[in-house]
Chains A and B, each alone.
Chain A
């Protein structure tokens, strides 16, 4: 079945790196996504990784994928107060219609 799990809360100091973790169960997952949601706002697509890759870097963001353990992580370098938000991991599988399965979301709190 499809299930995506994340830890619910992470607190980091400004300037440190943040690592948000996610596990998924569907071995046929094709794409894995990270979305950011600020309070009262919609979801912003941050980055995504195809399941045949093990790493993707985009400016301050690094996504690591361990397909054997079905583990995905998002590292944010030099975390800023503007990074405070909820981060959702999501997966889709092949077969059409692009159905996103979201994790519960990790609330990232950045403090001075």
Chain B
């Protein structure tokens, strides 16, 4: 099973709302990632968790707050977003460690901020 699931598929939120994106994998991977993808652009890394600890924050604004409650789940909490935050948010997972491991992506959550 190489599946990464993400919910919801689509999300529309106002600038004052608080919402969360969820990601789940059951491949036993201990590294999980959030990427942001704007239209017609490649994905850009936001956060990396390794063994449930935040390893990389690519200077992401604090209105995005990641959380890794256990080795299978990854959340992205959203608060006071701006219209320019509208994008496809992709979750990925891989084995963890110093070696290079292939990343498997979920289908994404398409977020629209109004």
B90 touching A104, Cβ below 8 Å: no
A43 touching B105, Cβ below 8 Å: yes
Q: Nearest Cβ in chain A — how far from B93, in angstroms?
A: 10
Q: Does B108 contact A (CB under 8 A)?
A: yes
In Å, the complex CA distance between A20 and B108 comes to: 25
B100 touching A94, Cβ below 8 Å: yes
Closest to B43 in A: A102
Q: Does A96 contact B (CB under 8 A)?
A: yes
Q: Is the interface of B mostly helix, strand, loop or mixed?
A: strand
Q: Does A98 contact B (CB under 8 A)?
A: yes
Point out the residue from A31, A45, A94, A99 that lies within 8 Å of B105, measured CB to CB.
A45
Q: Nearest Cβ in chain A — how far from B33, in angstroms?
A: 8
Q: Nearest Cβ in chain B — how far from A27, in angstroms?
A: 16
| Known contacts A40-B110, A42-B90, A43-B90; A99 and B45 CB within 8 A of each other | yes
Residues B82-114 near A (CB distance < 8 A): 90, 92, 94, 97-98, 100-108, 110
Q: Does B55 contact A (CB under 8 A)?
A: yes
B90 touching A97, Cβ below 8 Å: no
Q: Does A88 contact B (CB under 8 A)?
A: yes
Mask of A19-48 contacts with B, CB within 8 angstroms, 1/0: 000000000001101010000111111001
Q: Does B12 contact A (CB under 8 A)?
A: no
Mask of A74-108 contacts with B, CB within 8 angstroms, 1/0: 00000000000000100010111111101111000
Q: Nearest Cβ in chain A — how far from B23, in angstroms?
A: 11
| Known contacts A88-B42, A97-B48, A98-B31; A48 and B110 CB within 8 A of each other | no
A98 touching B90, Cβ below 8 Å: no
| Known contacts A41-B108, A97-B55, A97-B56; A103 and B102 CB within 8 A of each other | no
A30 touching B90, Cβ below 8 Å: no
A105 touching B42, Cβ below 8 Å: yes
Point out the residue from A30, A40, A42, A102 that lies within 8 Å of B100, measured CB to CB.
A30
B101 touching A98, Cβ below 8 Å: yes
B48 touching A42, Cβ below 8 Å: no
In Å, the complex CA distance between A105 and B55 comes to: 27
